[in-house]
Amino acid sequence: MSIAIPVHDRLFWIGANDRATGLFEELWPMPHGIAYNSYLIKDERVAIIDAVKSFFGVDYLATLKGLLEGKKVDYLIINHIEPDHSGAIRLLREIFPGMQIVGNRKTAGLLADFYAITENVRVVEDGDELDLGRSRLKFILTPMVHWPETMMTFDQAEGTLFSGDAFGGFGTLDDGVFDDEISDTGTYEYEALRYFTNVIGKYSTMVQKALARLSGLDIAMVAPSHGLLWRKDPRRIVSLYDRWSRNEADDGVTIVYASMYGNTERMMEAVAHALSEERVGDIATHNLSRTHISYIITDAWRHKGIVLGTPTYNMKPFPMMDHFIRVMENKGLKDRVLGIFGSYGWAGGALKELTAFGERMKWELIEPVVEAKGAPTADILASCGQLGRNIAARVRQGIPA
């Protein structure tokens, strides 16, 4: 069942909590599910802002009809057409055939591509307004946060920013919908960071452009299409997004490693121990064979230092490491310091590829690069310790952007 939650006298949350889907985009784990936030503005004219995934359409319509009390929906505003928000669109059109779909030129193209919908579409430009009666909506085009058509809708009467994916996060809304209903918003902030790094981080430059567009707005509440509604302190999530999209990080190091028989793992322990002795901040250690990269990418975004350790496998980095560096390259994370270590049995090759990866990322390589043939000797472990100390020293100095 889906429920309606009043936000103010004419605005209702009518979203869906998805506790069934295991992976977002069939890629990113959702152990705490996800909410698809949809909003109903019941004014002189009635508008929905973003819908829900098709799976939830029937319950969604029942909730909507209960609230409408016989009224029709005049507008469906699409801030973002990815199917987690637009899947119920055909159902909505069947029930409300006169409903206009509101989006920008890019939205119109994608509506035709995804749903073969070309009629009753109202195309808006950046800065256009839509008057619902008391609510006066203004459209702000924010392309590539996360798709080309993404835009935000600002209710100038109430200061509510309907922001689409931006500022949203994984996790269903169980014990509250608003930030001021949650005693500890830390989990939601972490899940917003994980959503950002996994889904949106690649488009950080475009996020910065979008944030610049918001700087003049008097925002009383941020209402994203996933996760918490931020009304107690809406500027907090905006400032976090600013920091994340600038690739800013805390002191701390993420160690990412793979190990088949424990030799590379022993080297990891020597690096980690040295980092710990240097008290460099948070140290997150991830075995690539055991931890989903969703969480590793998130830690890499949090920390100034990244240390990669891998055995050579068929003259390449271990397959999970090979995958990890490709994903990181695709994400385009900037301004990190890099340490590299690893081992091989009879022929190396992996560390050359990790070094080339660091060069392509323009990350600063910290010496020494440490490689063991077979089991690491005492000298090799001492070099790993030196690598940890050098990384700690560089992280403390700060990374020039």
In the complex, which residues of this chain contact ligand FEO (CB under 6 A)? 80, 82, 84-85, 146, 165, 225-226
Alpha carbon separation from 200 to 217, 247, 329 (Å, rounded): 22, 12, 14
Q: Quick one: 146 or 303, whose CB is closer to ligand FEO?
A: 146
Pairing of strands 46-49, 39-42: antiparallel
Q: Quick one: 39 or 318, whose CB is closer to ligand FEO?
A: 39
Euclidean distance between CA atoms 299 and 135, whole angstroms: 40
Closest residue to ligand FEO using C-beta atoms:
82
To the nearest whole angstrom, how small is the minimum distance from the Cβ of residue 60 to ligand FEO?
16
State the greatest distance between any 2 C-alpha atoms of the chain, in Å, as a whole number.
79
Residue 89: CA count within 13 A, CB half-sphere: 27
Q: What amino acid occupies position 243?
A: R
Pairing of strands 5-8, 160-164: unpaired
Q: Quick one: 80 or 93, whose CB is closer to ligand FEO?
A: 80
To the nearest whole angstrom, how small is the minimum distance from the Cβ of residue 145 to ligand FEO?
9
Euclidean distance between CA atoms 384 and 375, whole angstroms: 13
To the nearest whole angstrom, how small is the minimum distance from the Cβ of residue 21 to ligand FEO?
12
To the nearest whole angstrom, how small is the minimum distance from the Cβ of residue 54 to ligand FEO?
14
Euclidean distance between CA atoms 235 and 237, whole angstroms: 6
Q: Quick one: 164 or 358, whose CB is closer to ligand FEO?
A: 164
Structure tokens of 115? Answer: 């749903």
To the nearest whole angstrom, how small is the minimum distance from the Cβ of residue 148 to ligand FEO?
11
Q: Quick one: 135 or 198, whose CB is closer to ligand FEO?
A: 198
To the nearest whole angstrom, how small is the minimum distance from the Cβ of residue 94 to ligand FEO?
23
Euclidean distance between CA atoms 304 and 300, whole angstroms: 8
Q: Which helix (H) or strand (E) holds 76?
A: strand 75-77
To the nearest whole angstrom, how small is the minimum distance from the Cβ of residue 34 to ligand FEO?
8
Dihedral angle at the C-alpha atoms of 307, 355, 343, 27, nearest 10 degrees?
Answer: 60
Q: What share of the chain is helix, strand, coil (3-state, %, to 5)?
A: 40, 25, 35
Q: Quick one: 226 or 303, whose CB is closer to ligand FEO?
A: 226
Q: Quick one: 43 or 165, whose CB is closer to ligand FEO?
A: 165
To the nearest whole angstrom, how small is the minimum distance from the Cβ of residue 85 to ligand FEO?
6
Euclidean distance between CA atoms 107 and 121, whole angstroms: 9
Q: b/e string for 156-181 if b means 16 or more Cβ within 10 A?
A: eebebbbbbbbbbbbbbbeeebbbee
Q: Quick one: 82 or 278, whose CB is closer to ligand FEO?
A: 82
